[in-house]
Amino acid sequence: MRDELPRRALLVLGLGLFGMGLAVGSYGAAVARLVDRGVAPGVAGLGMTLFLLGQLVVVAPAAAASLLSVGGTIAATLAARGLLGLGQGAAFVGAMKHVGRRTPQARVSTAQGFLGAMFTLGLAVALAATPSAFQRVGVAVTMTAVAVVTAVGACGTPFLSAATVRPPVPFRAYLAPLRSSVGLALGLGNMATFGFLMVATTWYEAVLEGLPAVPTAATLVAFAVTTVVGRALGGLLAARVGDRAVVRHSLLALALLLVGMSAGVHLESGLLVVVAVAGTGLGFSVPFGPLFGLAFSTLADDVGVTLVAMLAVGNAGALAYPWLVGELVGATDSYALGFAAMGASVLGIWLLWQRAVAPREL
């Protein structure tokens, strides 16, 4: 039936994205281990910068990146992050385009939401489970298992039915969304949500372990749950109040939560930090769906063009932050200034959103 979702494609591609979510989410535990071994925080944080850079450049197998992480050395870890960014960027855009072209227009958002949720689920599971997995079975076994999950998804893709072939999109079409204030605001909104989610997962475990009497594992599980739940909640809220209102309010809330995170770290308030960590799970995820809904309806007719534009602006904007937070930790011996910088950046994006997007009838 033409009105049905391509279930096999969703299962295979979703499994691959789930595996890559596991690989991405495992980095927080890797950073904590590197810092404990004496690696400078700025160098350790550079790994997530390389992941975001890899997404900009695109195209290398993510399973190979997971296997590189088995070594546990700083060189292997940083190389793995760059490869993982390449693979995840290519797979994310490719999976979205494939499913979009095989799904009836009325069901496209549902199908793509499922793929995004699978990646987010993998990210959340890894964030919550990787620290204990590293301790119980070791880095090599954990990352090999992640690589296997990703590879299973990759091995199934040649057996999927072909999608509709369309003429290549001219290169200038990819630049068009970046020339408008609306396109820039939407891309920077992606920076504040997906980009800063990557930054947060890099450092949250180390922050929590540095505070006395804070239940690190339980807090990371709470963050994982709110991150996954927030994706669904964003869609429900958008149906009631509209995409623009959801993004506007949640960006402001995210800015305040990151500032609260900074204050909690500075004051060594475990309660404030725990509330901020769990709250940012919602702040990063609630606006994600409405943000892309607006982008798909306004930036370009081709879903691939829209995805590339959003990823390009979002990842380019977030590139410096994993390294920056690490350098600020090294300079101040505290994470407070790094999270304050992130909060101030989100507030700036919210102000741009107010001017460029909120008043418009999109």
Does the pLDDT of residue 359 top 70, yes or no? no
- In the numeric block, the tokens 């700025």 are attached to 42
Does the pLDDT of residue 168 top 80, yes or no? no
Helical ranges in the chain per DSSP H: 7-25, 27-36, 41-57, 62-68, 74-102, 108-156, 171-175, 181-190, 196-209, 216-241, 243-267, 270-285, 288-298, 303-318, 320-332, 336-356
Rounded to an integer, the average pLDDT of 63-68 is 48
Measured over the CA atoms of residue 57, residue 62, residue 64 and residue 66, the dihedral's sign is: positive
| Mean residue pLDDT across the chain | 79
Question: Cα separation of 310 and 318, whole Å?
Answer: 12
Question: Cα separation of 324 and 273, whole Å?
Answer: 20
Rounded (10°) angle between helices 74-102 and 27-36: 170
The count of other CB atoms within 10 Å of the CB of residue 275 is: 17
Q: Which of 316, 86, 87 is nearest to 191 (CA)?
A: 316
What is the end-to-end Cα distance of the chain in Å, rounded?
A: 33
Q: How confident is the model at residue 257 (pLDDT cuts 50, 70, 90)?
A: very high
How many CA atoms does the CB half-sphere of 46 hold within 13 Å?
A: 14
Q: Tell me which of 8 and 168 has the higher pLDDT.
A: 8
Q: Which of 57-66, 71-80, 229-238 is the most confident on average?
A: 229-238
Distances (CA, A) of 273 to 145, 186, 192, 283, 334: 32, 29, 19, 15, 13
The domains of the chain, with CATH numbers, are 1-158 (1.20.1250.20), 174-362 (1.20.1250.20)
Does the pLDDT of residue 65 top 60, yes or no? no
Predicted pLDDT of residue 264 = 95
Give this prediction's pTM: 0.73
Q: What is the pLDDT of residues 306-355, one digit of tens each?
A: 777 777 788 788 888 888 888 899 899 999 999 999 999 999 999 999 88
Predicted pLDDT of residue 313 = 81
Rounded to an integer, the average pLDDT of 150-174 is 69
Rounded to an integer, the average pLDDT of 80-100 is 66
